[in-house]
């Protein structure tokens, strides 16, 4: 039976690792935004706080070291997994000692550290999953990944909201919540050490020059440092001087606040345009073999460049809509933290589970191409839900009262009003998001060469995170100019190019699908 094949020890490990991967993401995303918002940090600063996710974009730079080197005693993949999870726990403890309104820079730096260890953990988990699953198992494996991932985000980005709510929840400080998450991460590192099965013996480190790889990595670090200096010392002043005539001072002697927002964005793009080619040149000159060989291997594949564009565009609409979703629900729509936590995560859990599992099952039946297309269309339509919340407003569809409850991990001291419109919008987003992500994860696994799974999957997932990381500053600036309803309409438009690319690449995507005979549901 396919059910027994799904819930074996290997697939259970995939589920647990999916949970470990999802836990830190909200702590540098929605939960961090809530902490910043309730602590009085302004919306523009919160928008730029999305840049703490930069390690997710650049993780393919150090992924080759995790492909090439194995830590002693633990075995391939497992050693790096335990180390990154303990690093996450330490970083979560560290951030709990700061107050955002007083130490915003320190909070940002530690949040970047959390994102670095989280991105590194993802490198190992993605490589492990790709190593142990064959093509027929990828649909269900990606479903379990999404299931565990979303379940963790329900805890760190949903139940955490209930814990933090002072009116209806426990009124727990966000610093204490981050400490609890650190303890959970320590427990997960123990499970990783003693429970998850080893990767197949065929999964071995590439035989490249270790010395060149280390030198090449440091050459990349130097290139990135030079790029940072270029951005701050040259690009930023240049952008400010060019844009100043477009933003006249509101009051005499005071700089227009919009000038800095747009100048920061322009200088950021200039810095990227300078740093990426420089880093590529440095890796070539320093003979960073594992990186260069794995990238050469990927780009030798038919449609490699088009696949990268599709990876960026497929989730772009969702990323744009979700980049400032928490500030929108808190300030734009006026919902309480507890209501957001219960509706956005706890109530949405069952639909997320159903969406992920149903997405994996349907993908086995209808194939990768049709799954990406159909689920992508559903993702696009789900953004209209939040547009309607912005237009109609809180309470327009009525609601109901959730009585007080205490289930140990979450409790509500007082009855809480639950808005039907919010529940509807979140339900659609959870359902379609689970289905779309399941197909997307399977798509990324299908593109990887097993010899370079850590590096290639890191490269592909880094491109996938471009939308989530880079749209934040644009979203923060744009929403102040066009308002929330138009902001969500723009998110719908941004989802269309990805769907067009899927149709245009139909034959190439279908070539990645598992053989027809390899179908778990036929057993």
Backbone angles phi, psi at 473, to 5 degrees: -60, -40
Q: Quick one: CA torsion of 143, 145, 148, 152, rounded to 10 degrees? A: -130
Cβ(259)–Cβ(243) below 8 Å: yes
Residue 114, pLDDT score: 93
More confident residue, 214 or 74: 214
pLDDT band of 349, cuts 50, 70, 90: low
Residue 411, pLDDT score: 59
SS3 call for 416 = strand
Residue 155, pLDDT score: 85
**Residue 223 reports pLDDT greater than 80:** yes
Q: Which of 76-90, 256-270, 290-304, 433-447 has the lowest mean pLDDT?
A: 256-270
Strand-pairing partners, residue 402, are 416
pLDDT tens, position by position, 244-256 = 877 666 565 566 6
Q: Which of 171-185, 256-270, 371-385, 396-410 has the lowest mean pLDDT?
A: 396-410
Instruction: For residue 341, give the nearest of 51, 31, 63 by alpha carbon.
Output: 31
Dist. CA 50–CA 36, nearest whole Å: 12
DSSP label at 255? -
**Residue 459 reports pLDDT greater than 70:** yes
| Mean model confidence pLDDT for the chain | 81
Residue 522, pLDDT score: 45
Residue 252, pLDDT score: 59
pLDDT tens, position by position, 434-455 = 788 888 888 888 888 777 788 8
| Residue 401 CB contacts under 8 Å (≥ 6 apart), including other chains | 415, 416, 417, 418
Residue 121, pLDDT score: 94
Instruction: For residue 258, give the nearest of 242, 270, 246 by alpha carbon.
Output: 246
* N residues, the chain: 523
SS3 call for 75 = coil
Residue 469, pLDDT score: 61
Percent above pLDDT 90 for the chain: 15
Instruction: For residue 143, give the nearest of 6, 343, 344, 23 by alpha carbon.
Output: 6
Residue 466, pLDDT score: 67
Q: What is the largest CA-CA distance in the chain?
A: 76
Residue 517, pLDDT score: 40
pLDDT band of 518, cuts 50, 70, 90: very low
pLDDT band of 118, cuts 50, 70, 90: very high
Instruction: For residue 182, give the nearest of 158, 160, 162 by alpha carbon.
Output: 160
**Residue 432 reports pLDDT greater than 70:** yes
Containing H/E element for 389? helix 348-392
Three-state SS annotation for 189-240: HHHHHHCCCCCCCCCCCCCCCHHHHHHHHHHHHHHHHHHHHHHHHHHHHHHH
Q: Which domains does the chain have, with CATH numbers?
A: 2-200+287-522 (1.20.1250.20), 210-286 (no CATH)
DSSP label at 404? P
SS3 call for 411 = strand
């Amino acid at each position: 039976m396919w059910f027994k094949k799904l819930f074996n020890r290997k697939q259970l490990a995939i589920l647990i690792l999916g949970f470990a991967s999802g836990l830190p993401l909200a702590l540098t995303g929605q939960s961090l935004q809530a902490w910043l918002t309730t602590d009085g940090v302004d919306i523009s600063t919160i928008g730029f706080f999305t840049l703490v996710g930069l390690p997710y974009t650049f993780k393919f730079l150090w992924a080759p070291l995790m492909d090439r080197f194995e830590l002693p005693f633990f075995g391939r993949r497992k050693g790096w997994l335990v180390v990154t999870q303990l690093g996450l726990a330490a970083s979560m403890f560290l951030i709990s000692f700061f107050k955002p309104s007083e130490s915003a820079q320190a909070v940002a730096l530690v949040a970047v550290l959390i994102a670095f260890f989280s991105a590194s953990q993802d490198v190992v988990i993605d490589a492990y999953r790709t190593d142990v699953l064959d093509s027929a198992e990828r649909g269900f494996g990606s479903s379990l990944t999404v299931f565990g991932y979303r379940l963790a985000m329900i805890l760190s980005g949903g139940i955490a909201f209930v814990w933090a709510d002072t009116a209806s929840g426990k009124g727990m400080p966000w610093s204490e919540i981050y400490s609890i998450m650190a303890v959970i991460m320590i427990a997960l590192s123990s499970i990783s050490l003693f429970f998850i099965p080893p990767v197949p013996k065929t999964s071995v480190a590439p035989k490249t020059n270790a010395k060149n790889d280390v030198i090449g990595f440091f050459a990349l670090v130097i290139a990135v440092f030079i790029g940072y200096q270029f951005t701050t010392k040259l690009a930023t002043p240049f952008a400010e001087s060019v844009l100043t005539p477009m933003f006249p001072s509101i009051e005499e002697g005071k700089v227009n606040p919009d000038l800095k927002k747009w100048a920061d964005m322009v200088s950021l793009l200039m810095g990227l345009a300078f740093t990426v080619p420089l880093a590529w040149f440095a890796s070539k000159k320093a003979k960073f073999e594992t990186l260069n060989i794995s990238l050469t291997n990927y780009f030798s594949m038919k449609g490699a460049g088009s696949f990268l564009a599709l990876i960026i565009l497929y989730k772009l609409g969702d990323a744009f809509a979700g980049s400032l979703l928490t500030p929108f629900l808190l300030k734009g729509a006026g919902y309480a933290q507890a209501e957001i936590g219960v509706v956005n995560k706890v109530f949405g859990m069952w639909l997320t589970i159903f969406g992920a599992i149903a997405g994996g099952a349907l993908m086995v039946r209808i194939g990768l191409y049709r799954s990406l297309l159909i689920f992508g269309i559903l993702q696009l339509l789900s953004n209209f839900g939040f547009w309607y919340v912005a237009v109609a407003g809180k309470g327009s569809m009525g609601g109901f009262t959730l009585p007080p409850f205490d289930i140990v991990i979450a409790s509500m001291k007082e009855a809480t009003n639950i808005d039907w419109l919010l529940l509807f919008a979140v339900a659609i987003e959870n359902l379609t998001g689970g289905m779309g992500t399941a197909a997307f994860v399977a798509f990324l696994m299908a593109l990887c060469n097993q010899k370079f799974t850590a590096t290639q999957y890191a490269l592909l997932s880094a491109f996938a995170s471009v939308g989530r990381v880079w749209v934040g500053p644009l979203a923060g600036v744009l929403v102040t100019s066009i308002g929330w309803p138009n902001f969500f309409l723009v998110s719908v438009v941004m989802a269309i190019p990805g769907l067009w690319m899927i149709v245009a690449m139909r034959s190439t995507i279908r070539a990645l699908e598992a053989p027809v005979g390899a179908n778990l549901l036929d057993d």
